[in-house]
Amino acid sequence: MRVRPPIPGTLRVRRFLAWVTAVLCAAVLVPAVARADNPIVQHIYTADPVNWWQFGGAGGGNLIANGDGESGTAGWGVMGAGTLSSNAAVAHGGAASLSVTGRTASWNGPSQDVTSKLANGRSYTTTLWVRSQGGTPTVKATLALTADGTTSYVSLTPGTAVNPDGWTRLTGTATVSWSGALSGATFYVETASGTDGFSVDDVSLQ
Ligand SMILES: [Ca+2]
């Protein structure tokens, strides 16, 4: 049986120093490699642009573009059937409102895509002014959310009767949340029933 020769003292010290050096090198080099190559670690060190709504905090502006209708129909569309136009004959504020005519279903009305502007789980306050072109329809603002292929509807304001003689204020607060990946979010104004034409002005969602 072979007996291991004793390790001389100087060699022991050298081995210890080599070990200490290796540990120190690893301590310095491993985080450096992680910073350079690991996207998760790198994310901590980079200043990515962050939007206020990602924090779900208070403040921020109106998510509805051209909510006052002073820029024609810019930013707006129609949910389903109907024709949207800028109406200078009636305005709650400024010089014009947005009018929808030719509706064929109660859910038709002025609409706007807000998909990229919402924060999951946040509370939103909606305010708008509505006036009918005839009749006294009950009007409400709704948010259609499509996530993971399923569409759900959030009531943003209670249904409120409006009339052609003046402007009626609609307002409400609702928590907006969804499960999975949000692929679409449409803000729109509709009636509880019927197809009366109506006008909206000073629309805000914030
Ligand atoms: Ca206006």
* Cα–ligand 1 centroid distance for 88 (angstroms): 9
* Cα–ligand 1 centroid distance for 21 (angstroms): 73
* Cα–ligand 1 centroid distance for 86 (angstroms): 9
**β-pair partners for 144:** 153, 186
Q: How confident is the model at residue 58 (pLDDT cuts 50, 70, 90)?
A: very low
Q: What strands, in cross-sheet order, belong to the sheet with 198-205?
A: 83-87, 97-101, 198-205, 122-132, 168-176
pLDDT (tens digit per residue) in 130-174: 999 999 999 999 999 999 999 999 999 999 999 999 999 999 999
* Cα–ligand 1 centroid distance for 24 (angstroms): 68
* Cα–ligand 1 centroid distance for 203 (angstroms): 9
- pLDDT at res. 170: 98
pLDDT (tens digit per residue) in 69-128: 999 999 999 999 999 999 999 999 999 999 999 999 999 999 999 999 999 999 999 999
* Cα–ligand 1 centroid distance for 66 (angstroms): 9
- pLDDT at res. 5: 56
* Cα–ligand 1 centroid distance for 82 (angstroms): 20
- pLDDT at res. 13: 57
Range with the lowest mean pLDDT among 19-28, 35-44, 138-147, 188-197? 35-44
Residue 50 has pLDDT above 50, yes or no: no
Cα–Cα distance between 64 and 75 in angstroms, integer? 8
User: Computed from CA positions of residues 94, 201, 113, 143, in that sequence, does the dihedral angle turn out positive or negative?
Assistant: positive
Q: Which residues of 72-105 are buried (b: 16+ CB within 10 A; e: fewer)?
A: ebeebebbeebebebbeeebbeeebbbbbeebee
Residue 181 has pLDDT above 70, yes or no: yes
* Cα–ligand 1 centroid distance for 152 (angstroms): 30
Write the single-letter amino acid at 59: G
* Cα–ligand 1 centroid distance for 130 (angstroms): 11
Q: What is the pTM of this model?
A: 0.72
- pLDDT at res. 36: 45
Closest CA relative to residue 171, chosen from 155, 193, 190? 155
Mean per-residue pLDDT, 18-38:
51
Cα–Cα distance between 103 and 79 in angstroms, integer? 9
Residue ranges per structural domain of the chain = 9-45, 53-205
Cα–Cα distance between 6 and 159 in angstroms, integer? 93
* Cα–ligand 1 centroid distance for 33 (angstroms): 57
Fold classification of 53-205 (topology level):
Jelly Rolls (2.60.120)
- pLDDT at res. 48: 42
* Cα–ligand 1 centroid distance for 93 (angstroms): 4
- pLDDT at res. 155: 98
**Tokens 């024709």 correspond to what residue?**
83
Contacts of 180-184 with C-beta under 8 Å, sequence gap 24+, read: 180/147, 180/148, 181/147, 181/148, 182/115, 182/118, 182/120, 182/145, 182/146, 182/147, 183/115, 183/146, 183/147, 183/148, 183/149, 184/113, 184/115, 184/144, 184/145, 184/146, 184/151
* Cα–ligand 1 centroid distance for 110 (angstroms): 14
Percent helix, strand, coil in the chain (nearest 5)?
Answer: 20, 35, 45
Residue 59 has pLDDT above 60, yes or no: no
Biggest CA-to-CA distance, the chain = 112
Residue 46 has pLDDT above 50, yes or no: no
